[in-house]
Amino acid sequence: MQCRRWLRTIGKEPIVPFLMVGAALFGWQAWWSPQGSQANATIVVSDEQAAAMVQAFARTWQRPPSREEVQRLFDDHVRTEVLVREAMTLGLDRNDTIVRRRLRQKMEFVSDSDVQVARPSEQDLQRHLDDHADRFRFEPRLSFEQVFLDPSQRGAQFNRDAEALKTELNRSGSVADPATLGDPLAMAGARWRQESRQELVAQFGSTFTDALLDQPLDTWVGPIASAYGMHLVRVSKITPGELPDLEEVRQAVTADWFQSQRQRQQEAVYRDLLAKYSVRMPAP
């Protein structure tokens, strides 16, 4: 009778059922999560951890820490450990993109440290160079002359001026000096000799540079657009990009070979781990 009377009494208090449910959930969490057990209630600051903290402090501040500062380092480590353990107990590490990405990076770092790659032979390096020629091929080089024309200055006369100037430059026996023609452009000279594609892209942009590679030799053409405006150009020489001898790029090929081998072995490790799981996913 007393039990029934007590139940009827608490049923009239709105807050009581919520407190009962909360207490039940808290008790279930403590029982269910192994992280909340007494087996995980010990925090130890090891000698190695203490030494690492002191060394990190000394590197940062260029002096050893005082006794009080060492104690604060230890206290902060314990605070982090307590809060991390409690966060994991509550499952706060689950479905967190940043945490998951960091764990993936650490796992990949661990697997990478376990990878052992033997030194490559000459045949290995030559084969790697041949199989990945585009990574090591020298860029083409160009020699050309240009005359800059500024559309903003010439306005409606631009097309007429460009055609007249191009006709004059292409006229047989013409002695016109490109450096004295067109509109001033302090950023770019009139004559360019054996410049690499990368250097020209940095100066004029990729659209202009790639257009030069498609032009006939020894003929004034254009106008061709660049990062500055419009140009009449005459390409005098194109040196095609070529695959260098191994000795010329040995260091780069060796580094790339090691990187490829590590990636291959990392993929093998991942495939072994993946085999432990059954994966279900929707069709793309």
Residue 172 has pLDDT above 80, yes or no: no
Residue 24 has pLDDT above 70, yes or no: no
Which of 28-42, 70-84, 262-276: highest mean pLDDT?
A: 70-84
pLDDT in the model for residue 36:
45
CA atoms within 13 A on the CB side of 260: 16
Average of per-residue pLDDT across 220-235:
85
Band of the pLDDT at 57, cuts 50, 70, 90?
Answer: very high
Mind listing the pLDDT tens digit for each residue in 146-157? 888 887 777 788
Residue 239 has pLDDT above 50, yes or no: yes
pLDDT in the model for residue 20:
43
Residue 35 has pLDDT above 60, yes or no: no
More confident residue, 194 or 38: 194
Residue 21 has pLDDT above 60, yes or no: no
Which of 6-20, 60-74, 146-160: highest mean pLDDT?
A: 60-74
pLDDT in the model for residue 129:
83
pLDDT in the model for residue 195:
81
Residue 39 has pLDDT above 60, yes or no: no
DSSP one-letter string for 185-231: -TTS-SEEEEEEHHHHHHHH-HHHHHHHTTSPBT-EEEEEE-SSSEE
How much is the mean pLDDT over the chain?
76
pLDDT in the model for residue 176:
75
Q: Degrees (nearest 5) of the Cα angle 89, 93, 97?
A: 170
Residue 242 has pLDDT above 70, yes or no: yes
Of 104-118, 145-159, 184-198, 243-257, the poorest mean pLDDT is in: 104-118
More confident residue, 26 or 144: 144
Q: Could you give all domains of the chain from N- to C-terminal order, each with its CATH number?
A: 138-171+179-239 (3.10.50.40)
pLDDT in the model for residue 81:
82
Q: Quick check: pTM over 0.85?
A: no
Mind listing the pLDDT tens digit for each residue in 181-224? 777 775 677 788 888 877 888 888 888 888 888 888 888 887 88
